[in-house]
Structure 1
């Protein structure tokens, strides 16, 4: 396949050097909050927060880090936001449950001299002080193009049917960017979009329920599915299997979760996006320490009138999962090759 953003982030990006942040004098101190949106995706507990905490520990040993997860509840996130302000947070890293509702939080913090770093999901209507993320629009375009290339290489004619599109949460501006990228990737592909769905709260059961209805509606006309993350991909695959569809049409994903990688190994999911959350979390920590230190923090680009740093995504399929994920240490064979996935690992040369 033509590789679209498949070159993994190199050592230079891993260093996460941001101009103007490194300080010759002693590291500052202060309270920094890290507020994540939900627990439906395992990444926040397993990767984002540990990555942020580790980098803060290196850059600012005297800093206090507050962590909260809103469990997909915008009201709860507002309470958590108020709580960390009351606890003296000078910088808040915010991954909003509701990107529109978050505008009032940004206003409130900035009116009190508190810096807000939008994380993963932007706040389109109000400029935060910084935005750090993987390039969400590029993610959507990459997974869609990868699927299209696979369908064409497999000899699937556009006249045979079309694709389903399972998008992320309608309250998540990052999901909107992924959706925009998916539309760009499918445009002019020759494969029509049979139907699409914005999945409330990114919840896999809700994706599964919707896809089940579409399988009944369209049947063999469905030649592929562009799912916006591994959770919705898993729900999609479960819907096809419950309907007795075999083989399952190729399904995309995003986040390179253990479950998503295992589905790729098994041949049930076609692709995912490798975007090690620790990279973005580390970058957010560097920006936060820069703000605490009173240093000017410049973005590499601007998005929604906000200085931004966007990292490039990498598409993962069976073709490169061993070389790019396992061999480079982003996941290990012991975790991936369990139970029914052992045979698939053996075929792909993963593990002993």
Structure 2
């Protein structure tokens, strides 16, 4: 009888241990699954250098720091909204748990964002505020970007800031940021200068900017353009190229944005007056942190510093970072100090004398 009792007890203990072990294994598996997942990153183009030179590697690096078991699935739309929609659908099918999206066309991607929402895949809007049920938003204050550009342009124009002719080279009209930048700039320059001509730059492309600037010179005369509000550095490049092609000797001040290496070198050379520096690392870090939190089922409001309303969604948890203006005298305390570029990267052999004059090599 005693032997039989011990057999029963042994069976019960073994069953309990098996159940406990299975529960523990299941809990460990759930924890492993929670801590290791795929994040999809969708960027809009290769036209603007920052996307692949800065944003992608910075997001990937921070993702690995925050979630070592996580992986990144990447796609670039190359300015094609339909391609980006297909890329997004493909990532959802593959089972990504969260998406970081910089939409090529914020309205065109609305149905894809809805698709992601219905599949239980949260979307973090990156750099541009997309329409649809997004779960988080990370960018820079676009109105402040425009204000910095407008203030710098007025300063550079000097006496011509009162009544001078300015050409506005806006960004791509499919991007809400383009209007954000434009309205910020106009809040500073309106009533002080004349907007001689204004153009939208399709795809933020240098070729489109070159063509638009050529049209502005044909309409106004190259010597009657006192300043150019270029929305970003790629547009500034097209503007300056057109001015040079027209053999304009004294280039008017031209603004920019993104602190592209080529633009920084143009500033050192005296061809472009300024750019707006947006510390991409801070933006990438915030987006990665928000994506990881959402992937783990956590509340992104713990990372957000404010909320934003889109045309379709209210109170989106948001991080809006502060940009800064960079003229030649600000390269050292901003871009060099932050490690964005090294002196050797900026100061090629051709620019050594100009770099010395700017105090970059001392």
Q: TM-score higher than 0.5 here?
A: yes
Within-5 A mapping of 1:99-114: 99-114=106-121
Runs of 4+ in 1 over 6 A off after TM superposition: none
**Out of 217, 220, 225, which is 1:218 matched to?**
220
The one of 280, 291, 302 aligned to 2:307? 302
- Deviations 1:123-179 (Å, cap 9, x if unpaired)? 1x424110001111211121112111222xx322534x3100101111111122112
Are the aligned partners of 2:92 and 2:119 in contact in 1 as well (CA < 8 Å)?
Answer: no
Unaligned runs of 5+ in 1: 1-24
Distance in 1, Cα, partners of 2:132 & 2:285: 24
1:255-266 equivalences under 5 Å are 255-266=258-269
The Cα shift of 1:208 comes to 0.6
Is residue 2:97 matched to residue 1:90? yes
Aligned equivalents of 2:351, 2:220: Cα separation in 1: 30
Greater relative contact order (Cα 8 A, min sep 6): structure 1 or 2? 1
Give the SS at the match of 1:289. Answer: helix
The more displaced of 263-272 and 298-307 is 298-307
User: 1:45 maps to which residue?
Assistant: 52
Separation (CA, whole Å) in 1 of partners of 2:253 and 2:161: 14
Structure 2 gaps of 5+ residues are: 1-30
Q: In structure 2, what is the Cα distance between the partners aligned to 1:217 and 1:296?
A: 54
Shift of 1:322: 1.7
| Map of 2:245 onto structure 1 | 242
Q: How does 1:104-253 map to 2 (within 5 A)?
A: 104-123=111-130, 125-151=131-157, 154-156=158-160, 158-159=162-163, 161-188=164-191, 190-219=192-221, 220-253=223-256
State how far apart, in whole Å, the 1-side matches of 2:334 and 2:137 are.
Answer: 27
CA displacement at 1:104 relative to structure 2? 0.9
What TM-score do you get using the length of structure 1 for normalisation? 0.88
| Shift of residue 343, structure 1, vs aligned partner | 2.0
Q: Within the alignment, does 1:324 sit opposite 2:340 as a pair?
A: no
- What's the Cα RMSD here? 1.5
Q: Which has the higher helix share?
A: 2
Contact map agreement 1:139 1:178 (CA 8 A) in 2 = yes
TM score, norm. by length of structure 2: 0.86
Structure-2 residue corresponding to 1:32:
39
SS across alignment from 1:144? helix
Specify which of 338, 341, 349 is matched with residue 348 of structure 2.
338
Larger radius of gyration: 2
8 Å Cα contact 2:172/2:203 also seen in 1: yes
Q: How far does residue 335 in structure 1 lie from its aligned partner after superposition?
A: 1.0
Q: What SS does the aligned partner of 1:328 have?
A: coil
Q: Residue 66 in 1 paired to residue 73 in 2? A: yes
